[in-house]
Amino acid sequence: MDFSHILNYKNFGLKALFALFLAFLSFNAYSNQENATIEPAGAEAGHHAVAEEKFDPTVTILEHISDGHSWHLWGHTSLPLPVILYTPQGLEVFSSANLMDEHHAPKPYAGKYYTYVNEHEHIKALKADGTVDESVSILDFSITKNVAAMFISVILISVIFISVAGSYKKRVGKAPKGLQSWLEPLIVFVRDDIARPNIGYKYEKFMPLLLTIFFFIWFNNLLGLVPIFPGSANVTGNIAVTMVLAFIVLIVVNINGNKYYWAHIFKPDVPFWLLPIMWVVEIIGVFSKPFALMVRLFANITAGHIIVLSLISLIFIFKTLAIAPVSVAFVLFMDVLELLVAFLQAFIFTMLTALFIGTAVEEHHH
Amino acid sequence: MELVTPSIGLVFWTLVSFLILLVILKKLAWKPMLGAIHERERSIEDALNKAELAKQEMARLSNENEALLKQAKAERDAILKEAKEIKDQIVNEAKTQAQTEGAKLIEKAKLEINNQKIAALDEVKNQVASLSLEIAEKIMRQQFNDKQKQEELVGELLKDVKLS
């Protein structure tokens, strides 16, 4: 991977440095928080079953940032979501309300083909004697909390942008107004500061992808910061989501790679005996670029959520309301920072996507 | 490890929803929006270019006007100057004419006076001559009557002549 040209890029150096600084800031906090929270959890793991009332921040936090088969709203109220299972015997669809009792404890449910149980958000088949049957492999295509949240954000984005596009048709040649004037600078920003300088004159072909990636990540980041329905899901902080985005980038970059791009990978300017090593390095580079995209977005957003949840958890760890003002103050600070990070990560992801596409479609090399 | 293990369901649904979003937005949002923005930018650029051209045209016109004004002023000055010259010339001409006319009149008057003077002198001469002749006649007559008396008379006459 040669990332030096990213740092050399005149306008981008400072931004990248800032992003890197923020990334490390989040990572440090993340690791500290994990150490701090894991210790008491380990100590109490032994009598976890006995001390039901004991608060375990690790479990709570991980539960909040990971996916779930139902959408917890408040208290004992959850929004049941459809469970879709692809079992060896066929497709099975039922409501997730069937998988838990009124106290939110998991409960077996007898479906068409098997009896299912929700074991830590993994749907497993049960044998007749009530134990988990590991031999049945179930592919889980459920509309989980993250999927539902993503659908909501996709609908939101579609409605907003289609209506704004409508106002462009209505107000041809006039100055933007209302929502249009909020979104136009962002679109122009993606075009003039991300696509054009990185891709060059062929940028127009990639504008729809870059704009969609930018607004998809940004809207999901922002919705993830909202603590109540329809926010609260950690969509962009889920490795599956970032993996798909990075995979799409990988495909787009390599489909559009021209002969110079492939020549750079398979015929680099090195002595012939170095070629095999270079092939390995370059091919790893092809995959490591999107891999970095995937990890960066996932880690930044997840870390932000963990910090906010840890600060809230302080109230329950100390079991006193006196700490609440401190927690709220820090959470407020973190939320404001996360607003910046939400935009910054969407920008970085789009920027690097544009950069990778730029290297793939560049006409003359070096 | 739970955190970094992607679940197949979420991968599938993300792929589906992202691709659907991409297709929908590409067709219904990005194309018209980018087109409209591009169109507007071009029209603004056009308008700016036109304004620049108009400015240049204005500057050209005002330069032209200034030149015309200057020319007109110069022409006016020239006309005024010419008029003044003509006036001076006319005045001078009139003056010289008047002078010559005056001189002629004076000359004429002088001539007339001379003529009159000559005529008057002629008449005086004639008078003197006729007087002399009369005197001579009277003398002649006296002489014929008495010698004494003639001499007395000549003397008397001569006295008169001396007196006059």
Residue B10, min C-alpha distance to chain A (Å): 6
CB A356 within 8 A of CB A249: yes
pLDDT on residue B143: 66
pLDDT digits (tens, 9 = 90+) for A281-312: 999 999 999 999 999 999 999 999 999 999 99
pLDDT on residue B72: 96
Put simply, the answer to whether A302 touches B33 (Cβ < 8 Å) is: no
pLDDT on residue A55: 82
In a domain, A62, yes or no: no
DSSP secondary structure letter of residue A204: G
In a domain, A106, yes or no: yes
**B164 vs B156: CA distance, rounded Å:** 12
A243 touches chain B (CB under 8 A): yes
pLDDT of B88 above 90: yes
In a domain, A24, yes or no: yes
CB A305 within 8 A of CB A237: yes
Residue B56, min C-alpha distance to chain A (Å): 26
A127 and A217, same domain (yes or no): no
In a domain, A55, yes or no: no
**Residue A119 forms beta bridges with which residues?**
A122
A101 and A135, same domain (yes or no): yes
B7 touches chain A (CB under 8 A): yes
Put simply, the answer to whether B13 touches A147 (Cβ < 8 Å) is: yes
- Strand A109-110 with A115-119, pairing: antiparallel
DSSP letter string over A266-288? HS-SS-GGGHHHHHHHHHHHHHH
Annotated domain spans of chain B? 8-163
A265 and A326, same domain (yes or no): yes
Confidence of residue A53 (pLDDT cuts 50, 70, 90): low
**A125 vs A235: CA distance, rounded Å:** 27
Shortest CB distance from B10 goes to which of A144, A168, A204? A144
pLDDT on residue A15: 52
Task: Write down which residue in A140, A170, A186 finishes a domain.
Answer: A140
Residue with tokens 């090593």: A277
Query: Cβ–Cβ contacts within 10 Å for residue A6, how many?
Result: 15
A131 and A14, same domain (yes or no): no
Kindly state the average pLDDT of the residues A263-274.
87
Residue B53, min C-alpha distance to chain A (Å): 22
A20 and A124, same domain (yes or no): no
What residues of chain B lie within 8 A of the CB of A140, using their CB?
Answer: 7-9
A243 and A311, same domain (yes or no): yes
Put simply, the answer to whether A239 touches B6 (Cβ < 8 Å) is: yes
Give the 3-state secondary structure of residue A123: strand
Nearest to A223 by CA among A151, A295, A283: A151
* CA distances from residue A134 to A123, A125, A137, A151, B82 in whole angstroms, order as listed: 11, 7, 7, 31, 123
What is the 3-state composition of chain A as percent helix, strand, coil, each rounded to the nearest 5?
A: 65, 10, 25
pLDDT digits (tens, 9 = 90+) for A199-244: 988 899 999 999 999 999 999 999 999 888 887 888 999 999 999 9
The dihedral built from the CA positions of residue A205, A209, A212 and A217, taken in this order, carries a sign that is: negative
A108 and A257, same domain (yes or no): no
Determine the residue among A238, A247, A309 to mutate to test chain B binding: the one whose Cβ has the most chain B Cβ atoms within 10 Å: A238
Give the 3-state secondary structure of residue A320: coil
What residues of chain B lie within 8 A of the CB of A208, using their CB?
Answer: 22, 25-26, 30-31
Put simply, the answer to whether A208 touches B4 (Cβ < 8 Å) is: no
A343 touches chain B (CB under 8 A): no
A14 and A122, same domain (yes or no): no
A126 and A243, same domain (yes or no): no
In a domain, A335, yes or no: yes
Q: Please give the residue that has the higher pLDDT: either B85 or B140.
A: B85
In a domain, A44, yes or no: no
Average pLDDT, chain A: 83
B1 touches chain A (CB under 8 A): no
Put simply, the answer to whether A157 touches B25 (Cβ < 8 Å) is: yes
Task: Write down which residue in A140, A161, A177 finishes a domain.
Answer: A140
Put simply, the answer to whether A302 touches B30 (Cβ < 8 Å) is: no
- In the numeric block, which tokens belong to residue B133? 């002749």
pLDDT on residue B163: 63
**A70 vs A78: CA distance, rounded Å:** 6
A184 touches chain B (CB under 8 A): yes
- Angle formed by the axes of helices A207-225 and A324-361, to 10°? 170
Number of folded domains in chain A? 2
Parent domain of A86: 78-140
pLDDT on residue A366: 53
Residue B1, min C-alpha distance to chain A (Å): 11
List, in sequence order, every beta strand (DSSP E) within A68-181. 70-74, 77-80, 82-87, 90-95, 109-110, 115-119, 122-126, 139-140
Shortest CB distance from B3 goes to which of A161, A208, A239? A239
pLDDT on residue A25: 46
CB A3 within 8 A of CB A24: no
Contacts of A297 (CB under 8 A, 6+ apart): A217, A236, A242, A245, A345, A349
Task: Write down which residue in A89, A110, A140 finishes a domain.
Answer: A140
Is the ipTM higher than 0.85? The answer is no
- In the numeric block, which tokens belong to residue A269? 């300017």
pLDDT on residue B100: 94
A262 and A132, same domain (yes or no): no
- In the numeric block, which tokens belong to residue A182? 């909020």
In a domain, A336, yes or no: yes
Shortest CB distance from B32 goes to which of A66, A168, A238? A168
A24 and A160, same domain (yes or no): yes
A268 and A310, same domain (yes or no): yes
pLDDT of B161 above 70: yes
Shortest CB distance from A208 goes to which of B9, B17, B30? B30
pLDDT of A3 above 80: no
